[in-house]
């Protein structure tokens, strides 16, 4: 039996796969264009040409250049969340362990995904909706620190999340200017400062609000 109701799901699944493949192709090509030209110089036409596609297809997937930059960054969010999950899963919280985490995992993220980070930062400046999405990404990443937020319950829950999100935002801003935009800093000195800051704040978060 081959009724229409039986055939439709397979056809819809095929279209969905085509949509996902086209979406990914445009993201990969946008990354190449942003890497080669920079976000400001790049245009939608450049991305379309790199993808060997059409404007109609591009706009079926993305609102504009800022939106494609935001979607490009969203592809690396699992890696970003993984950074903070690692520090949340440290078997023993110590300054040395935090410094090793920063050195081996946290700083590497901004170097590995410099194109995505640079593009989304420029997109945020151009489009308030991307900035709003970015702040939600920060909160989602911060929630990976939930073992340190266990004591922040009830009316103090927001205060704990805000305190932790400030840590994440501070690290992000520093690494953007330092590792993506190239502002010079001594790496070992910066690791020492960050380790002091993060260790102190994580201990305070774990201890919970003052009674």
List, for residues 12-34, the tens digit of each pLDDT value.
887 888 889 999 999 999 999 99
Asked if residue 176 belongs to a domain, the reply is yes
Residues 118 and 201 in one domain: yes
Q: Kindly tell me if the per-residue pLDDT of 87 is higher than 50.
A: yes
Return the pLDDT at 7: 47
Q: Kindly tell me if the per-residue pLDDT of 211 is higher than 90.
A: no
Q: Kindly tell me if the per-residue pLDDT of 2 is higher than 90.
A: no
Residues 104 and 58 in one domain: no
Residues 55 and 79 in one domain: no
For residues 117-141, give the mean pLDDT: 94
Q: What own/partner pairs with CB < 8 Å and gap ≥ 24 does 130-137 have?
A: 130/66, 130/67, 130/69, 130/70, 133/70, 134/70, 134/73, 137/73, 137/74, 137/77, 137/80
Return the pLDDT at 5: 45
Give the structural domain span for 126: 73-207
Q: Kindly tell me if the per-residue pLDDT of 83 is higher than 80.
A: yes
User: Which residues are CB-neighbours of 97 under 8 A, at least 6 positions away?
Assistant: 90
Number of separate domains in the chain: 2
Asked if residue 67 belongs to a domain, the reply is no
- What burial letters (b/e) apply to 19-50, b meaning 16+ CB within 10 Å? eeebbebbbebbbbbbeeeebeebebebbbeb
Mean pLDDT of the chain: 92
Q: Is the pTM of this model over 0.75?
A: yes
Residues 80 and 54 in one domain: no
Asked if residue 138 belongs to a domain, the reply is yes
């Amino acid at each position: 039996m081959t009724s229409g109701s039986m055939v439709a799901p397979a056809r819809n699944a095929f279209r969905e796969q085509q949509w996902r493949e086209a979406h990914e192709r445009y993201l990969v090509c946008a990354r190449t264009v942003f890497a080669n030209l920079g976000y400001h110089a790049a245009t939608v036409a450049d991305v379309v040409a790199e993808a060997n596609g059409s404007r109609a297809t591009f706009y079926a997937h993305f609102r504009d250049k800022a939106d494609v930059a935001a979607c490009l960054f969203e592809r690396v969010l699992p890696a970003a969340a993984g950074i903070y999950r690692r520090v949340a899963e440290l078997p023993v919280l110590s300054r040395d362990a935090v410094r090793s985490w920063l050195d081996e995992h946290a700083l590497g993220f901004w170097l590995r995904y410099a194109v995505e980070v640079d593009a989304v930062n420029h997109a945020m400046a151009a489009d308030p909706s991307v900035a709003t999405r970015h702040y939600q990404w920060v909160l989602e990443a911060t929630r990976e620190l939930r073992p340190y937020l266990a004591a922040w319950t009830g009316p103090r829950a927001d205060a704990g999340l805000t305190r932790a999100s400030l840590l994440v935002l501070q690290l992000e801003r520093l690494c953007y200017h330092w590792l993506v935009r190239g502002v010079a800093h001594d790496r070992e000195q910066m690791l020492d400062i960050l380790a002091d800051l993060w260790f102190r704040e994580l201990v305070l978060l774990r201890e919970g609000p003052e009674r």
